[in-house]
Structure 1
Amino acid sequence: MAKSSDPAICAAPLPIPVDLFLSKKHPDHVTSSSGDIIFRLSRQYLKSSSIDKIVLHDAAAAAAGPLISIHRVNKESWQGFKGDIGEQDSLFKVQRTLNKLRRTEFKVFLVGENSDESNASLEMKGFPFQRSCTIYKGNTIVAQTSLMHKLHQICVRRGRFRLTIFPGTVDPSLIVALIVIFFDGRI
């Protein structure tokens, strides 16, 4: 069981669902509904075309260090660290379990919560092309992405989409890091 001091667990649960927005036009920002920047993303391309490291920063604490650093282990797995990768304080491991043309699934193993590698702490399932991803903890939905639909609009653009984080015990910065992994840097 995770402790309340575990960075993947919020000190106080969110009382209502929170909507954050991600945009292809501004891939380095995660904003609130009012347009305020909540998180900043920085990407480091160390190989020819793939992202090797993604760092999530709190926009309010610009001088503070990174919240979460994501490192691609191989094509099918990632690892997340509290702070910078050099600190070696591992938060989670993510393994892609299904990668079909239209459907993708991941298992997320939070470090310290499960010592058994066969039981995932969280699962991500969805359709990247439709900007649809649902994160589950057991049978409970923790977060969900969706396109921005407008009335009387035939073609819905996939350039901007909503991330809804439901009330619970999972830290919003962890959810944002998992969504970045799900869309494989193609936000």
Structure 2
Amino acid sequence: RWALAWTFNEKFDLANSPKILHSKSRPLIHYLDRNMKSCDYKIESIGNYIENLLLNDLNIEQFQMIKLNKRIEFDIKSNEANWKNQRRKRRREKLLKESMEKMDEDQFINTGKRPLDDGDDSQNSNKKFSQTNELCKINLTYLLHCSLIIKRDKQDILIKMETKQCSQNKSSTFELLQYFKNKLT
């Protein structure tokens, strides 16, 4: 209430109040181990491996990869946190694989088929698609919007990640870096 009361006082001009300048956050930096087993210790190999992880494991399709002389830059955008709960996903896949091995072939053959509908679902799905498309146009912030740079620092190769302005929070960038650390060991 007290802060609201000051807004009605005429001697304080809030339109010309000084702006609070926030210092730019420091980028997240991780030096890669030379003895990593996932790929070769070369910038191109690491860049291709990260591109493969983004496309296949994380299903992130909104990224740009720019190859320069001595570094590779990624601009990554995502609205889904596919990098979370990796242990749970691996456990679920393992259980699914074990249960599939136990099933008989007859169970696959005797499964019931879904009846065809008259097309009402397709109209509903088109409406849902147009609604989500409009939401994407209106909402310009992403759950994750960051830059990832793979470059050489003297003899070492490092990954440098920085959160962009359109991102909702910095924790998703940190979580993605942790995901890459786990995969690149």
| TM-score (normalised: structure 1) | 0.30
Structure with max Cα Rg: 2
TM-score norm. by structure 2 comes to 0.30
- Which has the larger share of strand? 1
